[in-house]
Chain A
Amino acid sequence: MKVIRRKNPNNRKTIEERQSPKPKSEDRVSIPLSKDLKENLGKFKAFLEESADAVFREFKLGVTGIPCALVYIDGLTDKNVIHEAILKPMMYEVSELNQDRSLSLDHDLVFDFVKEHAVTVADIKEVECLDKAMLFVMSGEAVLLIDGFDKVLVISTRGWPARGVNNPEDEEVIRGPKEGFTETLRVNTALIRRKCKDPNMVIKTITLGRRSKTDVAYVYIKGITREELVKEVEERLNKIDIDQVIDSGQLEQLIQDNNMTPFPQVQATERPDKTVAGLLEGRVAILVDNSPYALIVPATFNQFFQSPEDYNERWILSSFIRLLRWISSFVAVFTPAIYIAILTYHPSLIPTKLALSISASRSGVPFPSLIEALLMESTLELLRESGARLPKAIGQTIGIVGGLIIGDAAVRAGITSPITVVIVAITAIASFVIPTYSTAIGLRTMRFPLMILAGFLGLYGVVIGFILLNIHMASIKSFGVEFMTPQSPIIIHDLRDFVIRAPYMAMKRRPVETDPIDMIRMDMD
């Protein structure tokens, strides 16, 4: 096992000491199964006896009287299947079968007999190793042990209360499908399959997490996605050695290229249609069990400004909305900084009348504009964060109290000027136009350093901030693709799906940024 590296040698020693007496549960019992039912059941019990939700059901196989046992976890299994498709035929109907068809129930053949005639469940596996069987039990399968065999039968009985397919709440669209991913991996892969019936679509699963054993699936379409990209994804996933994979949000941070950045380099989406669109552009999607968010890699900055409805609306309207999004992203990041810079250093930049009315409205405000704007922006972030965690009913109250009452009262009390409130409000609204939450919050955070730069160096500071932001973003890569593609490096072909969403007739080929194998998307006039 890998030991966590720490710089202080003493720390390292402590960690090693703590790790040395590993009470590995595997050591308590031998991994291979024996032919004795009691012994095998004992092995399962060694792990699970203390757990209240583990069920060990011992019974006899029909008239033959061969001892059997069923092991499963209560709550993860579908009781109906266990009653109707396993226990009932095995305990009761087997005898009838035996008489009617004169099938021999020899002790040596009973395992195959059960598999072939008794258990009426479609998905059945034979497992000869305790480890594997244990993993299946923990994922909700039932394990059937039969006396005299050193293998067990894993019967698919998964069934637990799960959230149904709902509206994707974080990525609502006006026009387009209204279904979103859920927490169950199988449902999510089914949602993807429903959108694209291409048998070339590969859904591979690996288990991640030393203890959590979370199923992680990665999906791609053979013949579109580059093998190199799939290999890169596989490599990065296989590198992960962590005790628990909680969510795709955590996985995203474990596989991303650059950790020192506020910007996501992986596109997370709740929407199956977006995921399938990504797959058809030659990308790879990663789904994590227990997470309603799929990850699409590689991701570029451009992608975070695209919404599925852009493709469902006519291109002129979509392009207009895209343009709006890009402008508002600029507004969200730079407006407060430019406001501070102009007010503090370059009041001559704005028309004289406006400058006069601004200075008149600011006459009672005791703070410099930097402090004033920082104060208001922080208040805004505070309101947003408090509203996000509260129940909806109280959230509205916060909105009214925060937005209307505090805003109005702050102006009346002379803490801030109305123009600052306007600027802050515009910034807030603009930042919500960006369709991807994580990008929006990344950009929004950039406001604060920019405001401070503007406060100290005026417009020059804003430009320095702009340059630094650009350098940073130009240096990021996502799975081998530059983050700022197609602006830099300029890929003229991909500019069709950038600020302007070109009509479908102009987008006959897939974007080249991911270098798909099959380039032709459309072949018609």
Chain B
Amino acid sequence: MKSRQGITNLQVTAIVSLSILGIAVLFIPSSASEAAGIDGVLATLFGGIVVLVLTFTAILLSCQYPNHTIIEYSQIVFGRLLGKLYGFYIVLYAIATTATVLRGFADAMKVLLLPKTPLEVIMITMMLTVAYQVQGGISTIARINELFLPPIIGLILGLLLLNVRDVEMFRYRALLSNGFGPILMSLAGISTGYLGFEIVTFLTPFVADKRKLLKYGMAGTGITIIIYTLLVFIELGIYGDKTIADMVYPTVHLARRILWVESFIERFDIFFLTFWILAAFTTITSYMYMAALSVVRIIGLRNYKPFVFILSPVVYMIAIIPQNSVQFTVLLKIISYAGLAIGFSTVPMLIISKIKKARINND
């Protein structure tokens, strides 16, 4: 038997893109148009490119320390104490993000699919499924991501394809009418929609073939850039920026427009949502894995599996904190910028580690 230890490169692509494609799929068009109006399309594209660059630095950095996760090599880069603090920050971020995504998922489920089911039931069942998945190990997570990527991508592309004829190009005449100013201003906000790519800093020790990691990891981000940009383009083309900005889940509206084959399926949005659960699940799984792994690595243990069952209630407790969607939005914003900070921190880390390596080489 050829030893198939670790995860394959295609699996890395799947993990990265499905970690990004999560709850943000539902509302990225409205946040884009809110931030940049009709220029939201370009903002989404450029925001994606910023994240692509960050993915690039994150993978380069991780490849400097192929046998460590970010928790361990941050202690090499920053020194022990600062590194521990940084690691602690990541732990908090990962736990909080798991909770936030879980809450966002449950909110959407309750509003769109199961109005009479208690929020707690949705969250607990999801949390249990995620815990079962995460304690199965990274190879199972990788395989599940690989299995779910084709249907999720296929469904979103199908949704876009069925709506593409309704795009009214006249709306794009106003493109860039205010110059690049609004785009640049909204770049940071849009980039948060691409959060999830941080998972690459946790994958390197488990990847079988590390040489191609850069290409495949960036492909993962690339897929989501294409999907998000197309999604925003079609949404803005159909509804216009003013309408979109007021919608809570514009992507679901897009799905609701579809009346397929003389209304054989009357509510395509429900069909879409059921598949979207898979995307939300993989995102929560990635963050949960990140949280469990970083907690264990920061303590210095190897086996993270028992911690999944300690973390799950904690995540649940955080997830039920927001009382309403306003509080949730605030929480999401805070978390997003905290995540973006981690993404940007890879740049100085890469520089420091390069300098350190160069110094060692000179000596």
Please report A residues at the B interface, Cβ cutoff 8 Å.
226, 228-229, 232, 345-346, 348-352, 457-464, 467-468, 470-471, 474-475, 479-482, 484, 487-490, 514-515
Contacts and interface: CB of A to CB of B under 8 A. Distances in A.
B290 to A, nearest CB: 18
Interface in B117-132: 117, 121-122, 125-126, 129, 132
Given A484-B143, A489-B11, A471 B265 contact: no
A471 B128 CA distance: 13
A346 B113 contact: yes
Given A462-B274, A463-B277, A475-B136, A457 B147 contact: no
Contacts of B140: 471, 474-475
A348 B274 contact: no
A474 B266 contact: no
Contacts of B114: 345, 457-458, 460
B270 A459 contact: yes
B109 interface: yes
Contacts of B122: 457, 460
Interface residues of B, number: 38
Interface string B1-44: 11010001011000000000000000000000000000000000
Contacts of A515: 1-2
A350 B260 CA distance: 11
**Closest 6 A/B residue pairs (Cβ):** A474-B143, A480-B1, A488-B143, A488-B146, A515-B2, A463-B277
Interface of A is mostly: helix
Contacts of A346: 113, 267, 270
Nearest to B147: A488
B143 A348 contact: no
Interface string B178-220: 0000000000000000000000000000000000000000000
15 contacts: A232-B1, A351-B263, A457-B114, A459-B270, A459-B274, A460-B125, A464-B126, A468-B132, A470-B144, A470-B147, A470-B148, A475-B143, A489-B4, A489-B142, A490-B146
Contacts of A489: 4, 8, 10-11, 142-143, 146
B274 A457 contact: no
A460 B109 contact: yes
A229 B146 contact: no
A339 to B, nearest CB: 14
B281 to A, nearest CB: 6
Nearest to B263: A351
Contacts of B4: 480, 482, 489
Contact of A463 (B144, B266, B267, B274): B274
Nearest to A479: B1
B132 A471 contact: yes
A458 B113 CA distance: 9
Contacts, number: 105
B147 A474 contact: yes
Given A351-B264, A474-B140, A460 B113 contact: yes
A477 B263 CA distance: 43
B64 to A, nearest CB: 27
B133 interface: yes
Nearest to A453: B125
A484 to B, nearest CB: 6
Nearest to B136: A475
Given A460-B109, A467-B278, A489-B142, 4 more contacts: A464-B125, A467-B277, A471-B144, A489-B4
Contacts of B277: 460, 463-464, 467
Contact of B266 (A348, A459, A482): A348
Contacts of B8: 489-490
Contact of A226 (B1, B125, B133, B278): B1
B271 interface: yes
A493 to B, nearest CB: 13
A460 B133 CA distance: 17
A204 B125 CA distance: 50
Nearest to B281: A467
Contacts of A459: 113, 270, 273-274
Contacts of B109: 460
Given A471-B144, A474-B143, A489-B8, A349 B267 contact: yes
A297 to B, nearest CB: 11
Contact of A352 (B113, B265, B266): B266
Contact of B129 (A228, A468, A479, A490): A468
B270 to A, nearest CB: 5
A462 B270 CA distance: 13
A490 B2 CA distance: 15
Nearest to A341: B274
A490 B143 CA distance: 9
B1 A229 contact: yes
A481 B113 CA distance: 38
A344 to B, nearest CB: 11
Contacts of A350: 265-266
Contacts of B117: 457-458, 460
Contacts of A458: 113-114, 117
A515 to B, nearest CB: 4
A226 B1 CA distance: 6
Nearest to B113: A460
B266 A487 contact: no
A348 B136 contact: no
A349 B133 contact: no
B133 A471 contact: yes
Contacts of A471: 129, 132-133, 136, 140, 144
Nearest to B140: A475
Given A474-B147, A481-B1, A349 B10 contact: no
A488 B264 contact: no
Contacts of A490: 8, 10, 146
Contacts of B271: 349
Nearest to A352: B266
A152 B4 CA distance: 52
A475 B143 CA distance: 8
Interface string B272-291: 01100110010000000000
Contacts of B281: 467
A490 B4 CA distance: 12
Contacts of B266: 348-352
Interface string B238-266: 00000000000000000000000001111
Given A457-B114, A490-B10, A474 B129 contact: no
Nearest to B121: A457
A489 B271 CA distance: 27
A435 B58 CA distance: 48
Nearest to A342: B270
Contacts of A479: 1
A352 B142 CA distance: 41
B267 A348 contact: yes
Contacts of A488: 143-144, 146-147
